[in-house]
């Protein structure tokens, strides 16, 4: 289910071809790479007698062209992202998601699914070809898969919890703050495919984008390897959090209390929490909260409730204060 490439057969004559491939996934990666460096490009196919627009999937050679003024810079950008092998030859553009596959301990059979999962809507909206599909549908599916598996784990691990306690634990485990934290552990933000605008506004660090990407990743694993592979990934990833629920109770560790103890041990006043803003529709509103100590904003976090955002902001603040020691 790799994102398909919509190609144009009639290419403007004065464009310079700087890359050729038979892989639509590779063509998409190269175009995305050029876009992040503000180099516009065009994809064309050598397949004759094509109907416009045409979706190619390994049937013919795809050519990526740029304006002559950008040709040399485009080649340098591509060359810097190739992988050399011992005999000095240069092979296809390296798999941009190889490190992510290692981090999740799962090798995709269809790597296009992983690319799809990492494609934010901002990237799709900026693609003039119309051939890039965002990860919103995968996010929807991943949310359902994650919710089911977490509910199953809680049912088996905490037989003494009543329905309300299980629901409360589940809400904590699948919250935006928790999923963003899980995504950070995988360095998932480094692999998100973002539009230029989202890239420039720090999209790789935004909790909502990280959480959405994490859910899309779960869906991609489920579609590629089935429920057992998705279950294995989630069980492995959430094992420390399940242990935390067992040790500290339904809400896990109380980061707000821990932060207060930390700052008071330094003879500083208690931290203050301020709502810095909200985003999203009323039924899916996210709260952005910052934690302030002695007038300095130590950290900022987003959550589906003020309490969730405050806990995550406190966690980030503890990490920041700890790194300053």
Task: Just list the catalytic residues.
Answer: 143, 215
Distance between CA atoms of residues 42 and 25, nearest Å: 15
What is the chain's alpha carbon radius of gyration, rounded to the nearest angstrom? Answer: 23
Distance between CA atoms of residues 301 and 321, nearest Å: 16
* Number of CB atoms found within 10 A of residue 86's CB: 5
Q: What are the CA-CA distances from residue 20 to residues 30, 44, 46, 65, 177 (Å)?
A: 10, 10, 10, 9, 42
Q: What share of the chain is helix, strand, coil (3-state, %, to 5)?
A: 55, 15, 30
Distance between CA atoms of residues 28 and 3, nearest Å: 8
Find all residues with CB under 8 Å of 232, minimum gap 6, and list them.
Answer: none
Look at strands 90-93 and 82-84 and give their pairing.
antiparallel
């Amino acid at each position: 289910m790799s994102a398909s490439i919509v190609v144009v057969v009639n290419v403007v004559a004065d464009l310079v071809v700087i890359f050729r491939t038979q892989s639509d996934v590779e063509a998409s990666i190269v175009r995305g790479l050029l876009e992040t460096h503000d180099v516009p490009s065009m994809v064309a196919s050598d397949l004759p007698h094509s109907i416009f627009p045409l979706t190619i999937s390994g049937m013919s050679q795809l050519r990526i062209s740029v304006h002559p003024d950008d040709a040399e810079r485009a080649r340098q950008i591509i060359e810097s992202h190739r992988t050399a092998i011992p005999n000095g030859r240069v092979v296809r553009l390296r798999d941009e998601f190889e490190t992510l596959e290692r981090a999740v301990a799962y090798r995709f059979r269809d790597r296009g699914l992983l690319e799809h999962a990492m494609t934010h809507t901002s990237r799709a909206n900026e693609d003039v070809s119309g051939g890039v599909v965002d990860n919103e549908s995968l996010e929807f599916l991943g949310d359902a898969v994650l919710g089911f598996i977490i509910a199953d784990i809680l049912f088996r691990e905490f037989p003494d919890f009543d329905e309300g306690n299980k629901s409360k634990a589940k809400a904590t485990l699948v919250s935006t703050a928790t999923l963003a934290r899980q995504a950070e552990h995988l360095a998932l933000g480094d692999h998100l495919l973002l539009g230029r605008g989202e890239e420039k506004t720090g999209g790789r660090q935004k909790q909502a984008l990280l959480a959405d990407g994490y859910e899309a990743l779960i869906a991609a694993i489920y579609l590629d390897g089935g429920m057992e592979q998705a279950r294995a990934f989630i069980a492995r990833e959430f094992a420390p959090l399940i242990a935390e629920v067992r040790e500290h109770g339904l809400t896990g560790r109380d980061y707000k209390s821990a932060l207060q103890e930390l700052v008071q041990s330094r003879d500083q006043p208690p931290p203050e929490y301020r709502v810095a803003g909200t985003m999203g529709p009323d039924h899916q509103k996210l709260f952005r909260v910052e934690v302030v100590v002695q007038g300095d904003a130590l950290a900022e976090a987003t959550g589906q409730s003020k309490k969730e955002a405050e806990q995550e902001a406190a966690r980030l603040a503890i990490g920041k204060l700890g790194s300053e020691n």
